[in-house]
Amino acid sequence: MVVHDKCEVLIIGGGITGLTIARELLMRGVENILIVEKEGYLGAHASGRNSGVLHAGIFYTPDSFRARFCVEGNRLMKDFCRMKGLKLNETGKVIVAKDSNELDGLYDLNKHSSDMID
Ligand SMILES: Cc1cc2nc3c(=O)[nH]c(=O)nc-3n(C[C@H](O)[C@H](O)[C@H](O)COP(=O)(O)OP(=O)(O)OC[C@H]3O[C@@H](n4cnc5c(N)ncnc54)[C@H](O)[C@@H]3O)c2cc1C
């Protein structure tokens, strides 16, 4: 175990959130960053065990921060994978109505999401 007694930035949790923040800070010139992780390795919880889907943000409230950040994150994560040569399976998404009652919702979704889908 490496023990440091001083740092400029302390990040608790070595999942994708903590590691992404650390990476962003490094790219902005912050060097003395300490990540504290309670497990023996990084990404031990949700970040290392999720379904691996890059969500398109189409089911979130249109123009909400959540929808906008999701679309932007989707684009950035794809760029990152391509840059690092990481496997990216771009299957797209098919959304169907199960019956005619769902058609109005489907038209609404199409109207709101056509400019969001990458
Ligand atoms: C089953 C499942 C499937 C999912 N599928 C997807 C998907 O397909 N696409 C998608 O985008 N998202 C998906 N998610 C959501 C996504 O995985 C999470 O939003 C994301 O991983 C959260 O990252 P995080 O770094 O915030 O949390 P975590 O990955 O949980 O990291 C938190 C870290 O903090 C550490 N920690 C906690 N307390 C302390 C402490 N006191 N001291 C030190 N360390 C501590 C933990 O050990 C952990 O490593 C899924 C989630 C789950 C559970």
Residue 9 host element (H or E): strand 9-12
The identity of residue 98, as a single letter, is: K
Q: Is any atom of ligand 1 closer than 6 Å to the C-beta of 55?
A: yes
Ligand 1 site, residue 10, Cβ cutoff 6 A:
no
Mutate to test the pocket of ligand 1, among 24, 37, 55, 91 (most ligand atoms within 8 A of CB): 37
Minimum CA distance residue for ligand 1 atom 26: 17
Q: What is the pLDDT of residues 2-14, one digit of tens each?
A: 666 789 999 999 9
Using a 6 Å cutoff on CB, does residue 50 contact ligand 1? yes
**One pLDDT digit (tens) per residue for the chain, 118 residues:** 666 678 999 999 999 999 999 999 999 999 899 999 999 999 999 999 999 999 988 888 888 999 999 999 999 999 999 999 999 999 988 999 999 999 998 998 888 776 555 4
Structure tokens at 82: 């391509």
Mean pLDDT of the chain: 90
